Amino acid sequence: MNSSTPRSAWSRHAGWSSNSTDSDRSECRLWFDRDTTSFASPYRAVQVPTTSVYDYLFSHLGDTDAERVALIDTRSGDQMTYGEMVARIEAFAGALADRGVGVGDVVGLLAQNSSAFAIAFHGILRAGATATTINALFTGKDVTKQLAESRATMLVTVSPLLAQAAEVRPPSGSPTTGWSCSTGPAQPPTGTPTPPTCSARG
């Protein structure tokens, strides 16, 4: 672009500066609107299934699949079959439902990559809620911010991250009304749902 290029032409190609007029901004938006086809993917459109994530992943599993290994803990070497995984997901979802969690709710999940994460994540979805996954390296302040921005009404975590979870405070304006934390060792799901280590309901 040279100095003789009209500002509107410059704005269409390179954005606009603080001195750009409303007309420039309007022309820029129109230019991008007209040129959106250039951003289309060269691949064919993806068909998104009209079903839940849980049903898409697990509803087709048969008796033979139930015996196949689904998860392997690289630290301990423990293995979990698809049958065990589905049973634990159902148990976790049931525990959430008992606490009133369902469609429209957002649940925070603070956990490292582990079998427990997979169970909790899919359990949240199975209960009909939305999961907002939280970085395991976040501080209590970071966790509090994400819970507020996502409008989460419950936090689920694991014992190794209990210290961070214990620092979380319901922010001003949050729908969460109170928090409760327990300090005992984590108990693996056995078909009888146990309460999450740290949780709150609004």
Q: Report pLDDT digits (tens) over 28-84.
A: 454 445 555 567 778 888 888 888 888 888 988 888 999 999 999 888 889 999 999
Residue 20: the pLDDT is 54
d(CA 37, CA 16): 22
Joined together, the tokens standing for residue 183 give 């300090």
Assign 191 a pLDDT band (cuts: 50, 70, 90): very low
Average pLDDT of the chain, as a whole number? 74
pLDDT in tens, 123-132: 999 999 999 9
Q: What is the DSSP letter of 82?
A: H
Q: Spell out the domains of the chain, with CATH numbers in brackets.
A: 53-183 (3.40.50.980)
Residue 23: the pLDDT is 56
Number of C-beta neighbours around residue 197 at 10 A: 25
- Report pTM: 0.66
Residue 200: the pLDDT is 39
d(CA 55, CA 32): 39
Identify the three-state secondary structure at position 6.
coil
pLDDT in tens, 117-172: 999 999 999 999 999 999 999 998 999 999 999 999 889 998 888 888 888 876 55
pLDDT in tens, 63-73: 899 999 999 98
Is the confidence at residue 10, as pLDDT, over 80?
Answer: no
109 burial type by CB count under 10 A (0-12 exposed, 13-18 middle, 19+ buried)? buried
8 A C-beta contact, residue 45 and residue 57: no
Strand order in the sheet with 130-134: 130-134, 106-110, 154-157
